[in-house]
Chains A and B, each alone.
Chain A
Amino acid sequence: MLVGGLDLSRNDGDMTPVLMQQALSCLPVPPVTTDAPLRHVLAARPPQDGLDRISNLPVKLLRDIVSRLPAKDAMRTTVLSTRWRRICHSVPLVLVDAHLIPRAATGILRLLHRDADPRDYRTLPLHLAATVSVALAVHPGPFRCVYVTGSNMEAQDAATARWFQLLAAKGIKELVFMNRIKKFGTDVHLPATLFRCISLTKLYLGFWCFPETAALPRSAAFPYLREVGLCSLIMKPQDLAILLDRCPVLEKLMMIGCRWPVCLQFQTRSLRCVQVCSSIVTEITVVHASLLERLLLWDAWGDGGRVHMSSKIKIGHALKLRFLGFLVPGMHQLEIGNTAIKGPQSGGTGKVNLKSWEEAGPIECIQRHIKRLVLREFQGKKAELNFLKFIAERAQVLQKMEIVLTLVTPLQIRWVPS
């Protein structure tokens, strides 16, 4: 049974909004908000004795305070006094384009105490890119994080190029940059200046053409980059290989809506989590990944057309691997070590009946080792019931079976062995 979701065979033009929503919902949460839950009545009042103590706090503490402000609030503190200005100008700031949307346009969201979020906009706010340009340019100090998710960067090559120069110069650490295109095929190139942002620790890019890596100097690398999200990029497989090769401490790799058949091979000492969603995956080979804990596939379709879709997942040396899935019987060919893991033959229909389980012969793991079984997204279909029956009759040391129904209140059934 295929997990429901995207149909990649659909016309590309229709896919963009779906992939865009999916990509936007996978982004990390910005570290500062415009929301101020600790603003109380008492705090709104001037101090009882009329003395300004806060401005006289040690520099280290004032810096900590300013670093928690959205960039535009920080900008406003520069006019309070010379001390505040010096502090603000040297603090690494967080710039989120959603915070720059004029208040008039976000009235309802503010009433709901929610930050403006570009995901809520069907029509993107006008001139947002221009405001981002100004904000990036005027802050003389570094930027800790920049989140740009609300601008269509087509025909804005000059702005994009300038931004990356500024980001590289200002030691950007976390960058989220989504190009809000309306349709595939109108993509814009990221400048190669990206590779000069060497202090990056977190990088999420969406709906861009990734720069060519062939001409990169050998020394070009992201020595601190721990987390990468690639959302619907146009990117050559060799460019991805080079990118991964140049990230020596990369822990988390997320890929959504890849626009080429994904064929990945990992030989890594740092990766802990790999996630591939809404993509065609021909092969993933984990040669050696000593820290890999999770290999997650969602809507990862095999290659070879609708009838013979197949996708190879080979796990070599990955002792810490705890989570692997979702795998679709008949489509994903799993190989662990030198052993091919065979699911029941589906006979081409995609249906698995009790007979096919019985034909699989005795399975030692089920008979002797399985103590706890958790089945989520249970729909009550016959194939699922057959599977449960098969397990219940054979698993000799099973102590607990948890079944969580799909789309309804989770239901736990405790099975007591007789």
Chain B
Amino acid sequence: MAAPESGDGNNGAARMVTLISSDNTRFEVEAAAASLSQTLQLTILDGGGGGGDGIPLPNVDSATLSKVLEYCIKHAPAAANGGAPNATAVDRAELERFDNEFVNIDQSVLYSLIMAAHNLEIEGLQSLVAKKVADMIKGKSPMEIRRTLGFPDPTPEEQAEMNAHMLEYGWAYE
């Protein structure tokens, strides 16, 4: 009964694992959802994280971990189906809507999420947050990008450099 299952859930109740954030909060989550993380997958396959053990994640705080798990729980069923092939257009649209709302967050949260996605190696989340930052930059002038990302006000030299850049590479500004 304690034999590790691959998360198919063929016996009714799905296998659960416990994750422990850097500030010592415990999160109990389905093994299939946590396994979206390449980093956790091996430990979980080896039977880790069950019972009273829990897997410590010293790089991820509880606020970020709960956000990350929200993503994993939503995406786990589609990932279990091998992604796109079996998913209907409705399912895909729903996931897209979720992703869209999911990254509508302040940059401090976004930053923690990027680092967590990277540390935990969650492929889908990594590309979602990178896409988000790219979308924040697209179509903006350097000055607008500076403002968006929270750069300090430009020094006169930096201002002059931006102006010169704009003159020299006019094609990139049209």
Contact surface of A with B, Cβ cutoff 8 Å: 34-55, 57-58, 60-61, 64-66, 68-73, 75-80, 100, 102-104, 131, 134-135, 138
Contacts and interface: CB of A to CB of B under 8 A. Distances in A.
Contacts of A34: 138-139
A43 B136 contact: yes
B131 A38 contact: yes
Contact of A43 (B126, B132, B142, B151): B132
Contacts of A61: 114, 118, 130
Given A68-B134, A72-B172, 14 more contacts: A38-B136, A39-B136, A43-B148, A47-B107, A52-B151, A54-B110, A55-B149, A61-B130, A65-B137, A77-B142, A77-B145, A80-B146, A102-B174, A104-B174
B130 A64 contact: yes
A40 B173 contact: no
Q: How large is the interface on B (under 10, 10 to 19, 20 to 34, 35 or more residues)?
A: 35 or more
Nearest to B126: A64
Contact of A69 (B138, B146, B150): B138
A184 to B, nearest CB: 32
Nearest to B102: A38
B141 interface: yes
A134 B138 contact: no
A340 B126 CA distance: 54
9 nearest CB pairs, A to B: A36-B135, A47-B107, A68-B134, A75-B172, A102-B174, A53-B111, A38-B135, A72-B172, A52-B150
Main secondary structure on B side of the interface with A: helix
A65 B134 contact: yes
Contact of A54 (B133, B140, B169): B133
Contacts of A71: 172
Nearest to B173: A76
A329 to B, nearest CB: 34
Contacts of B110: 43, 54
A170 to B, nearest CB: 17
A76 B172 contact: yes
A190 to B, nearest CB: 25
Contacts of A36: 134-136, 138-139
Contacts of B114: 57, 61
A70 B140 CA distance: 12
B132 to A, nearest CB: 5
A69 B139 CA distance: 10
B117 to A, nearest CB: 9
B88 interface: no
B14 interface: no
A45 to B, nearest CB: 8
B41 to A, nearest CB: 21
A134 B171 contact: yes
25 contacts: A39-B136, A42-B106, A43-B103, A43-B132, A43-B148, A44-B148, A47-B108, A50-B150, A52-B149, A52-B152, A54-B133, A57-B111, A61-B118, A64-B130, A65-B130, A72-B171, A73-B139, A75-B169, A76-B140, A76-B141, A76-B142, A76-B173, A79-B161, A79-B162, A102-B174
Interface in B138-170: 138-142, 145-152, 161-162, 165, 169
A79 B107 contact: no
A102 B172 CA distance: 9
Q: Which of B110, B114, B134, B151 has the most CB of A within 10 A?
A: B134
